[in-house]
Every structure is written in structure tokens, then in C-alpha cells.
A and B are shown apart, each in its own frame.
Chain A
């Protein structure tokens, strides 16, 4: 649990207390509605986190690195978005991996695309997204996020040298 989680929980607790002061009955209803929803989606959450565990073990950062070396050439941002998109590791794990890849002479476009798709594409949670919002929404968003990861990667490779950036 990071500091933001505690801030969030603190704010939530404050809101619940404030709500209880304003109306006990309404607060009770709010918490019942929340608990009921939580109970309904809990099995699905268990499945999603099981899936995340599987992907973490089967797709290690080292493997990801091996696939995204400089030998991939112009297709590197594309591969990077695919790999980033299906990985399910914590966001914090993506940054050290990105640095490792840059040191290994991977391109900025590839590393940028990987970092974006790592959090933006969200393949592991796609079944949940379909469940809540339907296949049309989920699959379109998923595909768009994939394309946008590559576009942003390419834009970064264009803008960053202009700013004189280097690692």
C-alpha cells in the first residue's frame, strides 16, 4: 500500500463519517449498496488477480527485454506495445524495465510505447471491462489504446531529442 492509498482511504473514511452525521439512514443504505455490489463482483476480482499472477510469472521483465532489443528495428514500437499491453505487472515495475531497455539500446519510441501500453491497454482486465461495459466498448477501447501507445511512443522519439533529452 502506497501513500496515495492511505490518502484515498482517509478521504473515504472522512466522507462516510460526514455522511453518517448528515443522515444515518442514507449512510446505512449507501454502505449496504456498496457491500452488495462488492459481494457480487468479488469472485470476478479473485479471477482477475489470479490472471495477473499468472501473467507476472509467465512474462518476466527479462523475457520482455529479450523481445524488445534493438534488433527489432522499425517494428520495435509495435512489439513493445504488444508486450506492454499483455503484461500485467505493477506500474512501478515498468519504469526500471524501460530504463534497462534504453541502456540495452532499445529505441525511445519502443520504450515509450511499452511504458504507455503497460498501463493504458489493460489486457488482463479486459474480461472485467466486457462484463461491465460490453464487448463493443471494451474491445474498441482496447484496440484504440494499443494504437495510441504506438503513436505516443513515436511522438516521444520525435519530441525528446528536440528538447535535448538523454538518459
Chain B
């Protein structure tokens, strides 16, 4: 497969989104412009954070040993590993898509898939948003909502492991970015 075809296959979504914009532009020009502006603003706001995330990915690759990840987030890390994952998930910033490559490299270093699921689940808890939620809904609502969401990570993780199978993580081992 030549380079452009490979690139297109990896970035198929770009074509879909461009087509959607073209359609909207023909039907409702101003709305397409509005959408593009909003998308661009979101991207611009997160760009610095994304750069930080990718710097972190590089540092993790170079400094964190596979043995360390295996021990704390690996197959035998048990509930403690899940708790670490769930805790880390709550402090993640930026959009979920930004941290996927980071999680991918953790899997490559031997993290247990369930730990990754826990991290993805508690990503929905936004530490930074808690003051806003408190001011709008009060403490009981905030406590119950975020508490249940945190607990849900411990339900999601084993369930996902059951669905995707324990060996699912094996395909990532040593694969991502080891050039």
C-alpha cells in the first residue's frame, strides 16, 4: 500500500468530516462557518494541553520501565491497580481523545486492560468542574453523582475485561512506538 493510501485509511474520519462540512456549507453556509469556528476554538484551547500530553508520552516511554508499569498497573496489580487507574483518570485533563495515545503506550508497557478501562471511566469525573457543579446543584448532588461515577469504574473494569477477554492487552505489548 502506498503512503497516501495508508494515510487516508488511518485518517478516514478527516474525509467524512470534510464531506459533512461541505454538505452543511451548501445547505446553511453560516452554520458551517459557526461549526468550524467552534471546532477551531476548542482545538486552539486544547493545543497547549495536547503538546503537554505528547511530551508526557515521550517521557513515559523513555523513563518508566516496563517492570514498573507491570508491577503497579499490570496483570497482578489487582484492586490496587484499578484504584490507581481510577484515581489517575479523575486528574486527566483535556478531551478523552488526547489521552488515548498515552493509554496506548501504558498498554504497550504491560498495563492491565481493566486499569485502562478504569482510567477511561473516571475521565468523566472532571476535578476542575466540581466547583461549578457545587455552585449549581449543591454538595449532596455533587457528592452522589461523582461518588457513583467513581464506583462505576470498578464495575466497568471487570465487565469490560470479561467482554474483550484477558488477552486483549497482549497485542499492544512492545508494539507502540518502539522504533
Q: How many interface contacts (CB-CB < 8 Å) are there between A and B?
A: 227
> CB distance B126 to A145 under 8 Å?
no
Given A4-B93, A51-B13, A160-B140, A9 contacting B52 (CB threshold 8 A): yes
Given A131-B10, A144-B156, A1 contacting B136 (CB threshold 8 A): no
- CB neighbours (8 Å) of A163 from chain B are 140, 144
> CB distance A44 to B11 under 8 Å?
yes
The interface size of chain A toward B, counting residues with CB under 8 Å, comes to: 76
> CB distance B37 to A53 under 8 Å?
yes
Say yes or no: is B43 at the interface (Cβ < 8 Å to chain A): yes
Inter-chain CA distance A120–B160, complex, in Å, is: 15
Majority SS of interface residues in chain B? helix
The residues of B with any CB-CB pair to A shorter than 8 Å are 7, 10-11, 13-14, 16-18, 20-21, 24, 31, 34-40, 42-43, 45, 48-52, 54-59, 61-63, 93-98, 100-101, 103-104, 113, 117, 120-121, 123-129, 132-133, 136-138, 140-141, 144-145, 148-149, 152, 155-156, 159-160, 163-164, 168, 177, 179
7 pairs of residues in contact across A and B, judged by CB atoms under 8 Å: A4-B128, A5-B49, A27-B62, A38-B54, A47-B16, A115-B145, A136-B164
